[in-house]
Every structure is written in structure tokens, then in C-alpha cells.
Structure 1
Amino acid sequence: MVADTRRIPLRVSNKKAYVWDVDDIAVIRSQHGICGILTGTLPHLSQQNAFLGIPLVLMPEEAVYLIENGVATFVDDTRAHIQPSTSELKQWNADQQENIKQQLALAEIKTTKDTTSGRAMSEEAIRKRKEREEKKREKAARLAAKADGPNALLAPTLEVEAPKVDAAHISPGRLSSSTVPYTIVIPALSSTFEWYDPSKYTYTTLGDAKTAGIWDYPATLAERARCGVFRGLKEKGFFMGGGIKFGGEYLVYPGDPLRYHSHFAASVLESPIASLRPMEIVAHGRLGTATKKAHLLCGWDDEKKEVSYLSIEWAGFG
């Protein structure tokens, strides 16, 4: 158990556990050695997949470890979102439009003050401005004269001043003014507290979450073995990541993967006396050596709830 009584919410959707708060992500990584995988697209880098953001998706073993240690709690994210009524949506929309109007009014007042109290234009700047305006009027007159001829449909159109935008008809994401752009903050629909209430759909144990139908891991011997091996390595101080690219269930790091390379690629065996074909042992040893790792065979004893370890490294002969 941890000293902090607050449990980190793991929001479960389709039996996958997600962490959405960056502070929670920092806590489980720095204090509990749980890394997970960032899967969200960054707003300003939406066309790449090298640098990702929230949410953080956890391996099932990581979620089980946090729940059993009293660090986190499961939240049924689907049921926690309450469907608002039509009247509530209308009221929310009216409040949103009023908020937009207020923000626009404050922005225009600030712009007016900045303009009147700003730098006074010199006489030379005023003269140049008048010259530019005169040239624009002359150009407009020439274009108007051309538009009277037979090629009137091909003549360029005149630029006119854009009308002021009515704040009541502004669509979110396309807010603008005739002269000065304003940044308007519009709260997301799901951020309204009244429409998200996880208190009735929070589960602190695996049994409660299984009864509610949102979580059923571990359910088989293989899954229990993975959870047991994960816990055993965690209690030895290791960090774990996915190891499928290196022929195992986990990559085992001596510290945070941002600072260290992995020392082992770990495979989980459902029994400490499980049989292995000679070619499997050779393949694990050669692959581990090729990637500068030792391969770790982890045998789970489901009766004793213990793990035995055997490392394999490739060696030359003769």
C-alpha cells in the first residue's frame, strides 16, 4: 500500500486500461516503475507516429500490478459518461455562446486600449499611409473602368472590408474578427462535470471489476503466469516493456528505459518444468546475443506462486 490515499484512476474501455492525466503518468512511472505506451496523437504533430501523447495504455499485467498494490482503481469509462438531455444541451450551448460573446467583448476592449495608448504615428508615417490609400483608390478606379467593357466577367473583383462577425453565430474552431484575430477558449463537451460521474462505476479490486464485467484478466494459467512473472521481476527492481520484437513477452531493464538499455528478453513458461525444444533454446540464445541481451526463461509455479529464472547466452565452441 502507498502512503497517498488517492488512487490513480485507470479508465477502462473495451477491457483496456488507460491513464489520461499527465501527473498520474509521471507518478506511476517515477514511483512505481510502470511505463506503459503512449498512444495519442499530438495536436501539432498529427501526421507522425514517432512522438506520441496521452492517453497512456497499460499492459494488462501493469494494470493488475497497480490494482493489487492499492495504487490505482478501475473506472468504467463508458458508463461514467452520462448522456445529457436535449434541454441540458440547449442550456450548455446558450452558456457557451454567452461565454464567447464575453470573451470577444473583452478582446475588442483590450485591442482598442492597445491602439489608443500605443505609439503615436509620426507625420512621415501618416503621409506614407495617405499615399498608399490614394494608390489603392486609383487602382480600384482603373479596375472599375475595365469592368464596363466586354470582358467584364474576367475582370478582377474588388476587395471589400469583411463584415463584423456576430458572436452568436460563430462556429467553434473558426473564430475570427474583421481585422484582429482573437483566441477564444471553448470548453469541451465532455469536460462538464455534471455529465461525467465515475463515483458509481469505480472498482478497487480485480474481483469487483470482474463482477461488473469490465475486466477479466488474469483468467487462464498463461495469464496468471504472466502476472506472476511480471510481479516477480518488478519486486527485484526491474522495469518492463513489451518484448515481442525480441522473441519474448518482456524486455527487462535495470532502470527507467529512458536511461538504460534492456539486459534481458524474458519469456514466460507456465510451469518451471515445462518442456522446450532444443531449437527454441538455440534461437533464444542467438537472438539475445545478436541484440546484446541475455534471454531469460521464467518458469511460473502456480501452486507455490513462485518464479524460477534461467538465463541463456550464446557461446562459441572449439
Structure 2
Amino acid sequence: MAAMMTSTQPPQPPQPGPIRISLIAGRYLLFSIDSVMEIRRKHGLCCVLTGTMPQNPTQNLFLGLPIELRAEEARLLVERGAAYIADETSDHLAKLKEMSSEAGDKRREAYLRGLKEKRRTAKRLFNEEKAAVKKMHEGKRKGGSKKEKAAPATDSLFESPTSPVVEAAAKKEVLPAITPSTSSALLDKDSISGAIADDELPESSAFYRYLNTRGYFTTPGLRFGGDYSAYPGDPMRYHAHFLANCYSWNDKIPMLDIVTSGRLGTAVKKSFLFGAEREEEEGKKEGDVRMFCVEWAGM
């Protein structure tokens, strides 16, 4: 079992620049799509999509940002130096108070300039895509009938001259609307704003860390009756191989739990994986984890 698990490639080392994890109402959330892609590609974290549309808040099939991290996932990123946890309530209140100062006015102006630049970029990309589609359709029409020459424009008694107000409105730059998914542009880029102290960080899980450092992706395993579902790679490409449960080192595991979990795991084409972190002993370092795998035969 150990040989099989260590053969999987570990996640890539994190890149500099900590990710901001928002602590809101006791939940660890990520709102930035770039941060979501980074933790998935480099740290093997899938997390859970929780966002919904205001127009249809009861839909539960297609969820989006933000994603919610479990406590052990947030702690793992902090321990690796890849992220920090920010208390969004207190931090946003402090930033709103700063907006009434001169420094706040400058920050607001810089934010609006950056937002306008993003709108210009969006308009340019939209126009480029529109031109490419138009060119493609024109190419398809070349093989068909020739276009008729357009009739020359003639003056009409019913045409009214364009007023200066209309001409000015036509020349005015019209930019598409953009709704930023985060308020990071209002924060200081060089400072870790709102970070909570180390003693307030969530509890770590050696069992989860053991799976993650060996390249396994994990998702909540509640629907299979376990703590985690462990995948040998990204869940978009692989099925889960293990139904995993975590115990304490001195826990007495009832035989009925092993039998039922083993049979359930085999029924859904998974092996039942369970283990615990070894207690600190002489010659044994903290974080040493023992795991066992059960696969029911004869089903």
C-alpha cells in the first residue's frame, strides 16, 4: 500500500506571493479564479464550489465562485507559505474608515482607473472576437453568389440632420460593464492585510497532509460514508480509488465499522483506507501516519 501511494507525483512547490483566504462567518473562502487555479494545479486542492446566481438561488446543479476550503486545507496552505487567512469583517471595516482620508481618496481613484482599463481591455477583446467571426462568415459567403452592388445613397425628404448632441453621444467612449469578483485592488499589494494570528489558525490534520503530500486529491467523502474520497489525480480525469477514514491513534475501531466500510467501498469500486497519526514517542517524530487498506473480496 505504501509503495503504491508513494509512486504518485507530489504537488509542485508553491510560487511566491501568498493567496488571500477570506474568513467569513467561520468559513474559509476563495473568490479569485486565479487563486482557485493555482491551488488546484500546484497544491492538489479541489475544495467545494458554493457560489450561486442571485436570479436563481435555489439551483444546486451548477455552482461557481467562491469555493470553500476545509479547515485542514486552509491550514496546509498557510504552513506551506502559499496563503494567509484574513478576517474579512474587521479588515473591510478598517478599510472603509480609511476611505474618508486623503490616502483613501488616492486609492479609490487608482482603483477606478484600473477598473476602466480592464473595461477597455474587455471591449478590445470583444471587438477582436467579433471581427474574427465576421471574417469567417465573409469567407464562407465568397463561394456562393456574388454580392449585389449596393445602390448609391440618395437624399430623402424624410431624413433629419444629425444634431450635435447625438454626434457627441456617438463619439463618447462606451465601455462594457465589469463586476470585479474580489476587492483585492483596494488592498495594499505589499502588505498582508487582515491576517489572523498563528494561534487562531484552524487545526491541522496529519492524515490529510499525508494524502496530499503524496499527490492525492481529496474531496468530502460523506456520500460514500467516509471522511474523504481520495483520487490519484485531478477528479476531472480520475475516479476515486479510496474511501478514507481518519481515527485517533488509540481509538478502538469496531470490527463492524471495518466490515461495513470495506463492503461499501468495494460496492462503489473503491478500497477502504483508514489510518491515524502515531503519537509522539521516543525516536518517532510528529506527523508519522500509519495507514491500512481493506478491499472486500467475493462481492
TM-score bucket (shorter structure): 0.5 to 0.7
**Match for residue 14 of structure 1 among 4, 18, 25:** 25
Larger gyration radius, structure 1 or structure 2: 1
Aligned mates of 2:271, 2:58 — CA distance in 1: 37
Residues 191 and 9 of structure 1, relative CA distance in 2, 3 Å threshold: closer
2:202 is aligned, of 217, 231, 242, to 217
Residue 4 of structure 2: aligned partner: none
CA gap of 1:86–1:284, structure 2 versus 1, over 3 A, is same
- Among candidates 213, 216, 223, match of residue 235 of structure 1: 213
8 Å CA contact retained: 2:14, 2:82: no
Q: Which fold has the larger relative contact order, with Cα–Cα distance below 8 Å and residues 6 or more apart in sequence?
A: 2
Aligned pair partner of 1:35 in 32, 41, 46:
46
The whole-number CA distance in structure 1 between the counterparts of 2:62 and 2:73 is 22
CA contact (8 A) 1:80 1:200 kept: no
- Structure 2 Cα separation of the partners of residues 265 and 241 of structure 1: 10
Q: TM-score, normalised by structure 2?
A: 0.63
Does the CA contact (< 8 Å) of 1:79 and 1:201 recur in 2? Answer: no
TM-score, length-scaled by structure 1: 0.60
Coordinate RMSD, CA, aligned: 4.3
Q: Distance in 1 between matches of 2:192 and 2:54?
A: 32
User: CA deviation digits over 1:40-81, x for unaligned, max 9?
Assistant: 125787663222221111111111111111111112211221
The one-letter amino acid of 2:37's match is: A
Q: When the two structures are aligned, how many residues end up with a matched partner? A: 236
- The superposition leaves residues 117-155 of structure 1 with CA deviations (integer Å, 9 ceiling, x where unpaired) of xxxx9599999x98xxxxxxxxxxxxxxxxxxxxxxxxx
Contact 1:266 1:296 in 2 (8 A): yes
Tell me, in whole angstroms, the C-alpha distance in 2 between the residues paired with 1:52 and 1:189.
15
> Which residue does 2:138 correspond to in 1?
none
- Which of these residues, 245, 252, 271, is aligned with residue 267 of structure 1? 245
Letter in 2 for 1:59: R
Give the CA deviation at 1:186: 6.9
Tell me the equivalent position of 1:158. none
Structure 1's 185 and 192: CA in aligned 2 closer, same or farther, altered over 3 A? farther
For residues 200 and 64 of structure 1, what CA distance do their matches in structure 2 show?
16
1:314 aligned partner, one-letter code: W
Distance verdict in 2 for CA 1:189–1:62, change over 3 Å = closer
Map 1:15-94; keep pairs closer than 5 Å: 15-42=26-53, 48-81=59-92, 82-84=95-97
Structure 2 counterpart SS, 1:70: coil
Identity among equivalent pairs (%): 32
User: Which residue of structure 1 lines up, in the alignment, with residue 290 of structure 2?
Assistant: 308
> Does the aligned pair in 1 maintain the 2:14–2:42 contact within 8 Å?
no
SS across alignment from 2:23: strand
1:281-300 correspondence to structure 2 within 5 Å: 281-300=258-277
Shift of 1:231: 0.7
Q: Are the structure 2 counterparts of residues 290 and 216 from structure 1 closer, same or farther at C-alpha, using a change threshold of 3 Å?
A: same
Q: Deviations over 1:272-311 (max 9, x none)?
A: x421222111110111011110110112223243111111
5+ residue gaps, structure 1: 104-120, 131-163, 165-176, 219-223
